[in-house]
């Protein structure tokens, strides 16, 4: 892999190459938005995509038929609308069948309940788009009113989305069903848990037991996941979870991986009870020969390493021993390689986790945001714990092909260079800062200038530092409508003047001292004045030395007399200059 290349998802065009993590996220979302827009066009206007040019024709690659084909009021028409996920049309057609006295089979009614419970008695995304389009494009409504309605509809959909309403269509249809089976109850329970009505789901489960029906494993998984919302105390939560587990045993329902993951997820919210019982859950998984998924390990590590201040246990070592041997596949929506080895400040654990992540397709469990956050933490840990040569090697290999450094990463790198006395790499870091869009970050600029001006270096390095100072000065003096001007600080001006003075750029140093210091009402330090005098002596500019002494005298500085004595001693002055 080319370490200078961006992620393969981005276009091979310099203009579309992201410069930093924010750009990478924006461009990746834009690309996905483009795909969604193409899908929307195909779904909205299927009549324009009905010609088949492919030979041979592959039906699964052709646009789906999303408009109902069966007319009239019949059970077949209801099945078609359920299959097309038209929630509102399905409910209306069901009500028409009931009013007409036409019996609807239990299987079809259960399918309708499945649809209603999945969407929380709301509308599918396609129906929402169609209704908003109709509402917002009414004739005679001006643009401002349409925008206001659009904002209101968006707020309404966000606030009411995924909530279980009282006496909604799912509950109403469930109550009027002449016959109910276990599937009917299980669907209602899972829908209630999914959409935040955990108490109602528990009551529905009690009714189900009274009717002598048995729940399936997915229903028990949902109930176990809802335990934290049913009980307040940690011990009560664990007792209720055990009740559900005992019911599974009594009803001969075999637990699966998601059952144990739901149990561990509940134990995450059980405090000390969770830490004492989680290992027995893992042992039970081993006894049933169920292999943990990444979500299992994530829940377990969260239970034992909730805070970095907690005493580290050997759990994470055992987890890494297992993770290193396997290449994982998605089995749980919570699966992810979001372990906290980097937060524990243990470089050996971080290396092991990195090796495990690179095994097989494990890296795919981190999306773009999480991947960049992981590498950011890993690189900060490298800066803190590793030798500078190793840090720079990782930095060159990772940026920008694997991750985009954050401002904190750049700050950590500068501090690592400072600790290793490796100042010759600073100019290349400055070039990366410009590429990443960090050239206007005042905290980074202060740290960079401070490191470059702290002490003298060989001439070649000093010339490179002066070039960096010139770039920073140019960024401060940029004026444009898009960006607010960068404000100078006294310390930054002093650092820039020092860097110019050390390479003999007398005029540039004097401009900074005379113009910019006065502009922000600051006074140069004694070190800045002494080094400027050295620069004037090196370049044989007695006039600049005289200006410096006059400036110090006009400001009433205690060092003015000392500077005057130095000037008279070190410079050959004419009578007029004296």
- Which residues lie below 8 Å from residue 269, measured CB to CB, with a gap of 6+? 228, 234, 237
pLDDT tens string 464-487: 999 999 999 988 887 666 677 788
**pLDDT value at position 362?**
82
Whole-angstrom distance, CA of residue 248 vs CA of residue 230: 19
- Residue 230's region, left for phi above 0, alpha for psi from -120 to 50, else beta, is alpha
Tokens of 63: 């646009």
**pLDDT value at position 190?**
96
Whole-angstrom distance, CA of residue 427 vs CA of residue 464: 6
**pLDDT value at position 554?**
85
HEC-encoded secondary structure of 314-363? CHHHHHHHHHCCCCCCCCCCCCCCCCCCHHHCCHHHHHHHHHHHCCCCHH
pLDDT band at 417 (very low <50, low <70, confident <90, very high): very high
Contact assessment for residue 123 and residue 87, using Cβ atoms and an 8 Å cutoff: yes
Contact assessment for residue 81 and residue 89, using Cβ atoms and an 8 Å cutoff: yes
Q: Is 99 exposed, middle or buried (0-12, 13-18, 19+ CB in 10 A)?
A: exposed
Q: With H, G, I as helix, E, B as strand and everything else as coil, classify residue 483.
A: coil
pLDDT tens string 426-436: 999 999 999 88
- Which residues lie below 8 Å from residue 61, measured CB to CB, with a gap of 6+? 54
Q: With H, G, I as helix, E, B as strand and everything else as coil, classify residue 159.
A: helix
Tokens of 434: 């410009």
Number of helices (H), then strands (E), belonging to the chain: the values are 28, 0
Lowest mean pLDDT among 232-241, 391-400, 551-560: 551-560
Lowest mean pLDDT among 18-32, 225-239, 349-363, 560-574: 560-574
Whole-angstrom distance, CA of residue 494 vs CA of residue 471: 15
pLDDT tens string 270-317: 988 988 999 999 999 999 999 999 999 999 988 888 754 445 567 888
Whole-angstrom distance, CA of residue 368 vs CA of residue 352: 21
Whole-angstrom distance, CA of residue 446 vs CA of residue 448: 5
Whole-angstrom distance, CA of residue 352 vs CA of residue 320: 7
Lowest mean pLDDT among 55-69, 210-224, 349-363: 55-69
- Highest-confidence range of 146-155, 179-188, 545-554, by mean pLDDT? 179-188
Q: 304: closest CA among 337, 336, 326, 271?
A: 271
Q: List, in sequence order, every beta strand (DSSP E) within 151-300.
A: none
Whole-angstrom distance, CA of residue 244 vs CA of residue 441: 55
Contact assessment for residue 417 and residue 386, using Cβ atoms and an 8 Å cutoff: no
| Statement: residue 553 has pLDDT above 80 | yes
Whole-angstrom distance, CA of residue 548 vs CA of residue 325: 70
Lowest mean pLDDT among 128-142, 332-346, 519-533: 128-142
Average pLDDT over residues 511-540: 86
- Which residues lie below 8 Å from residue 297, measured CB to CB, with a gap of 6+? 319, 322, 323, 339
**pLDDT value at position 149?**
46
**pLDDT value at position 63?**
66
**Length of the chain, in residues:** 578
**pLDDT value at position 155?**
43
- For residue 416, report the phi and psi dihedrals to the nearest 5 degrees: -65, -40
- Comparing 142 with 542, which gets the higher pLDDT? 542
| Statement: residue 146 has pLDDT above 70 | no
pLDDT band at 157 (very low <50, low <70, confident <90, very high): very low
Q: Where are the domains of the chain?
A: 66-131+165-179, 195-290, 523-577
Average pLDDT, the chain: 85
* Exposure of 105 in the CB half-sphere (CA atoms within 13 A): 8
Q: List, in sequence order, every beta strand (DSSP E) within 314-472.
A: none
- Highest-confidence range of 36-45, 90-99, 297-306, by mean pLDDT? 90-99
Average pLDDT over residues 327-334: 90
**pLDDT value at position 500?**
93
Task: Calculate ∠ Cα 440-444-450, nearest 5°.
Answer: 120
Average pLDDT over residues 257-269: 95
């Amino acid at each position: 892999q080319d370490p200078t290349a961006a992620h393969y998802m981005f276009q091979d065009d310099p203009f579309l190459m992201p410069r930093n993590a924010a750009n990478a996220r924006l461009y990746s979302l834009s690309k996905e938005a483009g795909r969604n827009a193409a899908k929307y066009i195909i779904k909205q206007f299927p009549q324009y995509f009905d010609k088949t040019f492919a030979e041979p024709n592959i039906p699964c690659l052709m646009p789906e038929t999303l408009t109902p084909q069966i007319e009239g009021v019949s059970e077949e028409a209801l099945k078609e609308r359920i299959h097309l996920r038209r929630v509102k049309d399905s409910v209306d057609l069901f009500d028409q069948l009931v009013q007409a006295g036409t019996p609807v089979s239990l299987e079809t009614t259960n399918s309708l309940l499945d649809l209603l419970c999945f969407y929380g008695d709301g509308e599918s995304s396609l129906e929402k788009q169609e209704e908003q389009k109709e509402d917002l494009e009414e004739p005679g409504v001006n643009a401002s009113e349409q925008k206001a309605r659009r904002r209101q509809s968006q707020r309404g959909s966000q606030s009411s989305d995924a909530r279980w309403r009282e006496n909604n269509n799912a509950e109403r249809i469930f109550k009027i069903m002449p016959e109910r089976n276990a599937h009917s109850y299980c669907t209602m329970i899972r829908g209630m848990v999914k959409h935040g009505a955990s108490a109602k789901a528990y009551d529905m489960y009690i009714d189900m037991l009274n009717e002598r029906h048995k729940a399936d494993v997915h229903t028990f998984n949902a109930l176990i996941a809802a335990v934290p919302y049913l009980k307040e105390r940690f011990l009560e939560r664990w007792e209720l979870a055990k009740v559900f587990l005992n019911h599974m045993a009594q009803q001969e329902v075999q637990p699966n991986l998601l059952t144990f993951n739901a149990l561990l997820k509940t134990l995450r919210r059980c405090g000390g009870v969770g830490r004492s019982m989680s290992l027995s859950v893992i042992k039970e998984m081993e006894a049933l020969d169920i292999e943990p998924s990444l979500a299992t390990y994530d829940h377990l590590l969260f239970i034992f390493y909730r805070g970095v201040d907690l005493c580290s246990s050997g759990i994470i070592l055992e987890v890494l021993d297992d993770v290193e041997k396997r290449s994982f596949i998605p089995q749980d929506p919570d699966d992810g390689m979001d372990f906290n080895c980097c937060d524990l400040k243990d470089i050996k654990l971080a290396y092991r986790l990195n090796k495990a992540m690179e095994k097989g397709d494990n890296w795919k469990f981190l999306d773009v945001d999480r991947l960049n956050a992981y590498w950011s933490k890993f690189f900060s840990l490298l800066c803190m714990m590793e030798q500078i040569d190793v840090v720079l090697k990782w930095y060159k290999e990772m940026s920008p092909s694997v991750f985009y450094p954050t401002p904190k990463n750049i700050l950590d790198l500068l501090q690592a260079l400072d600790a290793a006395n490796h100042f010759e790499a600073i100019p290349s870091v400055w070039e990366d800062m410009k590429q990443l869009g960090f050239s206007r970050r005042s905290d980074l600029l202060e740290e960079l200038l401070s490191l470059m001006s702290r002490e003298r270096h060989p001439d070649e390095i000093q010339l490179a530092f002066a070039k960096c100072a010139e770039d920073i000065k140019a960024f401060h003096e940029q004026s444009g409508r898009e960006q607010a001007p960068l404000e100078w600080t006294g310390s930054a001006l002093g650092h820039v003047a020092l860097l110019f003075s050390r390479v003999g750029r007398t005029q540039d140093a004097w401009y900074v001292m005379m113009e910019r210091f006065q502009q922000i009402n600051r006074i140069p330090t004694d070190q800045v004045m002494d080094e400027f005098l050295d620069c004037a002596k090196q370049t044989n500019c007695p006039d600049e030395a005289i200006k410096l002494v006059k400036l110090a005298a006009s400001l009433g500085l205690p060092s003015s007399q000392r500077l005057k004595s130095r000037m008279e001693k070190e410079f050959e002055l004419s009578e007029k200059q004296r």
